[in-house]
Structure 1
């Protein structure tokens, strides 16, 4: 990504304000105004902007506190919290929404911005995102744990674009009665999505924060990007990108080409054996010495099904090979046995923009060990090559590992 600070003219003619601009690697994309937390346009907000730029958006983060004090950039110490609440209490919400509209207008006028533009915000910005849905020409608005939305529900009648709200069940700034009011007022509306994240607190999506909850943050991000892509794009051919990646891994066996299909800092996790790597350096080493050149010559991937989502692909396939060499990533430390192996395998492949971000690969390790003769299945609820055969022929016997099956008729 490339980034810079630009100037935006206030719509009321009172001056100009700064905004951080982050542009995707491709140089163009749909626009996204990122509405800040109460801590200003700090490093956290810039990191989030870069994160969404990597997804393919031209991201603009306006300084909405500029009317009080330009360039507010706070951390999360007790003193910073005290100052942040002071800015929040003195914030002119109506002027803030005007500045969001000015930012949308400025963003659409830039050559990097393609067609549509939306708003995404956190905390204070979450409320601004909701109000943007009500008062601006945003094509889509997404709010994370917005503070005070329940006080503006009468404006919901003005919503025209898609609205997504992420609510934290234990949010001290949005107590149960406020959350209930939001859900009752907005549920069932066309193009409105409401999500409540159980057991998490305010700011659950702020990485490194006290209340950061990675599973909820990941789910919310996927829902956000899904909504953004549905309304604005960008759209990439994930199927072709994944096929090309696999070609480099298993056909041409070229490490540099394999890495070229991935983001700058990707990761791979083969779940049963915890092999792979995090980051370009570690993953390059893994591919070079323990994966690309460590698969048997007859390795074959037989596709069974493929599901293509807004952010990822889920591949179901058969992974077949003869164990003629040590396979570090699947059977580390096990000398070749010469045995034939066929196993069902599931690959969950996440993308950012037009690059692979990560791979989560799942298979039944017990079945592999049975097939190479390293695990005696007698008395254990595991099977060998039969799991692959039954995947292709559902009429083969079921429940053969259940001793009680014959008596339950």
Structure 2
């Protein structure tokens, strides 16, 4: 392992730093690499037999990340406890136990594949590699440019150019968007970029930037002067103003957008365009947007029991 790292670092296209990633027995090798080599970061998935080499933990030099399935028969509870007890509090060590999943939970197509856990582990792994080795990208600038092409210049080709070759977008409440370049280009061209009202505005409220993604909290404003396929499909223009809190989770691969998950309260939209009567229902209209900007606006108005709890 040390010889492989030395050879890797000697390559002309290499920038000096190197890491180790291993699965199963490779997960144990990743742990041993952290103990026995000068690897900058080592990541191990469901390593087998790590508890047998814990006496080497004092030699760990770089960052170590271990992904441990709770139900892994190759790492029973007593072994897992020893690993967590020995490594859990060590600086530079990150241990993650994934509840209810088994060995090889990240192997796509395997019997134990568990997508939510695999996604979490991938995010944590990339974060560790980026923290120690780079590269580092300005995700805020990349996302701002993407939004500029969507809502300001309204250029589909430029919008797609900010994304990976096969991206996807999912507007969660209406399940609109697209998977893959062809479908998403069609969606942007005919149902999104050129289908938003002229007065559409995005008002940024907060932004959290992570190792691979951005979470944006936005106030989305528009007047419903045209049919908006992605937001109100099949609904004729009502001419009514709408303001909704909106959250975007934007994932990157390298310096390109990989996917967008967009969330908002569709009930609030329907109330504001007059398609849903809020009377007697636990929903609100423009008040949700107003309270986002002013926390002193009334709370708990939909809870009849609130008046009796004080």
The TM-score with structure 1 as length reference comes to 0.75
Q: Does 1:245 align with 2:146?
A: yes
SS where residue 220 of structure 1 aligns? Answer: helix
Aligned residue pairs: how many? 310
Equivalent residue runs for 1:20-169 within 5 Å: 100-169=1-70
CA distance in 2, matches of 1:335, 1:113: 57
Q: Which residue of 1 aligns with 2:111?
A: 210
For 2:15, what is the secondary structure of its paired residue? strand
Task: Report 1:371-382 matches (<5 A).
Answer: 371-382=272-283
- Give 1:317-328 correspondences, 5 Å limit: 317-328=218-229
Displacement of 1:141 in angstroms is 0.5
Secondary structure of residue in 2 paired with 1:116: coil
Shift of 1:232: 1.1
Q: Do structure 1's residue 226 and structure 2's residue 130 form an aligned pair?
A: no
Q: How far did 1:198 drift? A: 0.7
For residues 316 and 298 of structure 1, what CA distance do their matches in structure 2 show? 19
Which of 342, 358, 365 does residue 243 from structure 2 map onto? 342
Structure 1 residue 303: deviation in Å?
A: 0.5
The answer to whether 1:296 aligns with 2:197 is: yes
Q: Alignment partner for residue 281 of structure 1, among 182, 185, 188?
A: 182
Q: Distance in 2 between matches of 1:216 and 1:289?
A: 35
Superposition RMSD in Å: 0.9
1: CA distance between counterparts of 2:6 and 2:156? Answer: 44
> Is 1:236 matched up with 2:158?
no
What SS class does the counterpart of residue 196 from structure 2 fall into? coil
| C-alpha distance in structure 1 between counterparts of 2:50 and 2:307, whole Å | 59
In structure 2, runs of 5+ residues without a counterpart are: none
Aligned to 1:182: 83
Q: Return 5+ residue gaps in structure 1 as ranges.
A: 1-99
**Quick one: distance in 1 between partners of 2:248 and 2:149?**
16
SS in 1 for 2:16: strand
Establish whether residue 265 from structure 1 lines up as the match of residue 166 from structure 2. yes
Counterpart of 1:64 in structure 2 is none
Partner Cα distance (1:161, 1:312) in 2: 24
Q: Is 1:385 aligned with 2:286?
A: yes
Secondary structure at the residue paired with 1:302?
Answer: strand
Could you tell me how far apart the structure 2 residues matched to 1:267 and 1:336 are? 28
1:279-325 per-position Cα deviation (integer Å, ceiling 9, x unaligned): 11111111111110110000000001111111111110100000011
Relative to the length of structure 2, the TM-score reads 0.98
Q: Which residue of 2 aligns with 1:254?
A: 155
Shift of 1:102: 2.0
Q: Which residue is 2:305 aligned to?
A: 404
CA distance in 2, matches of 1:407, 1:286: 49
For residues 124-156 of structure 1, the C-alpha deviation after alignment (integer angstroms, 9 at most, x for no partner) is: 110110000011110011100011111111111
Alpha-carbon distance in 1 for matches of 2:286, 2:196:
19
Secondary structure of the residue that 1:313 maps to in structure 2?
strand
State the match for 1:351 in structure 2. 252
Cα deviation, 1:87-138, whole Å, max 9, x if unaligned, reads xxxxxxxxxxxxx222211211222222211101101110110000011110
**CA separation in 1, counterparts of 2:246 and 2:199?**
17
Give every structure 1 segment of 4 or more consecutive aligned residues whose post-TM-superposition deviation is greater than 4 Å: none
